[in-house]
Structure 1
Amino acid sequence: MRYRRFGKTNLLLSVFSLGTMRYLASEENARQTVYQAVLQGVNHLETARGYGKSEQYLGAAIKAGLPKTRSQLHITTKIAPTLDADNMQRCIDESLTRLGLDYLDCLAIHGINTWEHLDLIQQPGYMQAVQQAVADGRVRHLGFSTHAPLEIILAAINTDLFEFVNLHYYYFFQRNVAAIALAAQKDMGVFIISPADKGGLLYTPPPKLQALCQPFSPLELNYRFLLSDPRITTLSVGAANATELVVPLSISDRTEPLTPQEIAVMQCLETTQENTLGSDRCSQCNACLPCPEKINIPEVLRLRNLAVAYDMTEYGKYRYGMFENAGHWFPGMKANRCTECGDCLPRCPQQLDIPTLLQDTHSRLNGRERRRLWG
């Protein structure tokens, strides 16, 4: 296991962190998962107030005894923005009680996803509640998690209120690269959310993608893409059980720069996408926005890019099914809401036939509706 400095917090975190949203089959399953992660070198355990019994189960695992002492572990929980300072104080205390701790190494404001969230957390009363928790030692470091569009993430980083950020960024989703750069410039810790699942359902890749990534697995290649970037501190492993720790932790010492062979495979992936999609390939420039019908056109067409180029249709259905079902965590209407108004067409530098591509994406990916695991 390698360890990296978590920005200005100066905490040394393992390059893989245990995310605890999915280990909820039972308290015993959670205990075994946490124990095995810590035994193999993980020293950062991350939970959230909104993850069902996750805080309670993590607290029980810590109480039962782990291979590291409390001072050797770094615990993060996340609490959603709230309108009331007293409520924030109460939420912090409740989380500490469930975890059985007298302090949190890190507290993340959970889901700064909209401009309204960003305005809220900058209100004096709100920050006073959080800063009081820092002053009295209940919280040591403050950060935020986000599923927001890039411009909101950049604005949140630029408030200079935070020491770290949890965000989405993967080989197959590089739109937030500017946020990675800005966070590094401001010496913030960078925590990557769900690289295996949200990064492409890479535990169960389609055969075409597996073949294109040889001699590596798609999951290994994505991990290496992230671990080779020194601006990134740690990657979440949202293991449902101890068995799911095996693959990521087997490469937890692979933080060196990308090898020529790895770079060649990534170049092959890019070439395949260009050749397969041809003139229908969306470059993800975002010039088509805003859409009058609130369709997240770049994200819809990103999912189409991946489905057509790499047969990542199941991943596309998984993410596409969250439109209209996950609120601000995954905003946007489905592509069949397009009225063919044509507003986007003159803005597209590639001159894509966007309405036709939206309808094609809906036909390919509109399967079962999905919701976030936790509200």
Structure 2
Amino acid sequence: MQYRRFGRTNLPYSIFSLGTMRCLGSPQVMQQTVNRAIELGINHIETARGYGRSEEFLGMALRSMNRDQIFLTTKLPPTLDAAQTDQWIDESLQRLQIDSIDCLAIHGLNTWEHLDWVENCSIKAIKNAIAEGRVRHVGFSTHGSLELILAAIETSLFEFVNLHYSFFFQRNAPAIGLAHEKDMGVFIISPADKAGMLHTPPQTLIDLCAPFSPLEFNYRFLLNDSRITTLSFGAANPEELAFPDLDQDLSIERAIDRLNARKAIDPDQCSQCFACLPCPESIHIPEVLRLRNLATAYDMTQFGEYRYRMFENAGHWFPGNKANRCTDCGDCLPRCPEKLDIPKLLRETHDRLNGKPGRRLWQD
């Protein structure tokens, strides 16, 4: 296992972190999973108040372990009530059975309102907890827009950021750059599942990423960037804790060339410039068309269905209406540099990807 400095926290994190959102089978399963993670060299475990009984199970597992071996992150939602934040910190400490939280993240800083709450309320309680030694470092986790993430980083309130980024979603690249300038730790959320369901890739993607599996390809893409500290690995049990051998310095450039060439074949590929927003019908046009891009270029239709069905079902975690809300108003058309027939592509994408509604595993 390799280790990297987590920004100005100066904590030496393993390049993979154990995320415990899915590790909820029983306290015994949590214990076994944590033990296996430590055997593999993982020294950072992430949980959250909103992850069911994760904090409780993790607290039980930690009783038999040397805390010097492990760094812990837990997450709390943003709130207007500083006293509520303070109470939640104490409750997390009690469930985890520890005296101090290494890293506390605002969980789901996804809207401008959330940022306002943190700046004016939550951060006061967190700073007080840091002064008292109940918390060591503070950061934020986000599914929000790039503009919001950049604004949150610019506040200089935070020492680390948890965000989405992968080869298949590079919109947040400027946020990684700014976080690095601010000497913040960078934690990548779900580089396997939400990056493209890379545990179960389509054959087209397997062929394009060869000789690497799509999952190893994405891991290498991310970890080739020294600004990124650690990648989340959300195992439900110890059997799922298996990593590719990343010690060999192998180039992924040929795979990148093949992937880019395949994407270029489709004349209707969206460049993800975001100039089409805002949409009068609150359709997240770039995200809809990104899912179309992946389905048409790499046959990632199953992933597209999984994500598309979350529109209108996951609140601020996955905002935007479905593409069938398009009224053909044409507002987006003159702003598209590719001159795409956006209404037509929206209808086609809806027909291709719509199905049974989806939702987040945990809602806050």
TM-score by length of 1: 0.95
Q: Per the alignment, do residues 288 and 160 of structure 1 end up closer, same or farther by CA in structure 2, a change over 3 Å counting?
A: same
**Separation in 2, partners of 1:47, 1:34:** 12
Which structure 2 residues correspond to residues 171-250 of structure 1 after superposition, within 5 A?
171-246=167-242, 248=243, 250=244
Match for residue 282 of structure 2? 294
Match for residue 89 of structure 1? 86
**Separation in 2, partners of 1:62, 1:74:** 11
Q: Could you tell me whether the CA contact under 8 Å between 1:6 and 1:164 is conserved in 2?
A: yes
Q: CA deviation at 1:252?
A: 5.1
Match for residue 29 of structure 1? 29
1:147 to 2:137 alignment: no
**Separation in 1, partners of 2:246, 2:125:** 37
Which structure 2 residues correspond to residues 296-375 of structure 1 after superposition, within 5 A?
296-375=284-363
The secondary structure found in structure 2 opposite 1:151 is helix
1:264 to 2:261 alignment: no
Please tell me the root mean square deviation across aligned C-alpha atoms, in Å: 1.0
**Separation in 2, partners of 1:74, 1:282:** 41
The secondary structure found in structure 1 opposite 2:37 is helix
Select which of 114, 117, 121 maps to 2:118: 121
Q: Could you tell me whether the CA contact under 8 Å between 1:15 and 1:252 is conserved in 2?
A: no
Which structure 2 residues correspond to residues 7-156 of structure 1 after superposition, within 5 A?
7-63=7-63, 65-66=64-65, 69-123=66-120, 125-156=121-152
Q: CA deviation at 1:28?
A: 1.2
The secondary structure found in structure 2 opposite 1:363 is helix
Q: Which residue identity is paired with 1:91?
A: W
Q: Could you tell me whether the CA contact under 8 Å between 1:321 and 1:369 is conserved in 2?
A: yes
Q: Which residue identity is paired with 1:89?
A: D
Q: CA deviation at 1:280?
A: 0.5
Q: Which runs of 4+ in 1 moved over 6 A?
A: none
Match for residue 169 of structure 1? 165
Q: CA deviation at 1:126?
A: 2.8
**Separation in 2, partners of 1:114, 1:128:** 19
**Separation in 2, partners of 1:242, 1:117:** 35
Question: Number of residue pairs matched?
Answer: 363
Q: CA deviation at 1:72?
A: 2.4
Q: CA deviation at 1:195?
A: 0.3
Deviations 1:210-244 (A, max 9, x none): 11111110000000001111000000000111121
**Separation in 2, partners of 1:26, 1:365:** 35
The secondary structure found in structure 2 opposite 1:18 is strand
Q: Could you tell me whether the CA contact under 8 Å between 1:193 and 1:236 is conserved in 2?
A: yes
Contiguous gaps of at least 5 residues in structure 2: none
Select which of 225, 230, 245 maps to 1:251: 245
Deviations 1:38-83 (A, max 9, x none): 11100000000000000011111111x24xx202210000000111
Q: Which residue identity is paired with 1:78?
A: K
Deviations 1:102-161 (A, max 9, x none): 0000000111100101111111x4322111100000000000000001000000000000
Q: Per the alignment, do residues 280 and 330 of structure 1 end up closer, same or farther by CA in structure 2, a change over 3 Å counting?
A: same
Deviations 1:289-323 (A, max 9, x none): 00000000000000000011111011000000100
The secondary structure found in structure 2 opposite 1:232 is coil
Q: Could you tell me whether the CA contact under 8 Å between 1:2 and 1:252 is conserved in 2?
A: no
**Separation in 1, partners of 2:236, 2:342:** 39
**Separation in 1, partners of 2:176, 2:164:** 10
**Separation in 1, partners of 2:272, 2:238:** 37
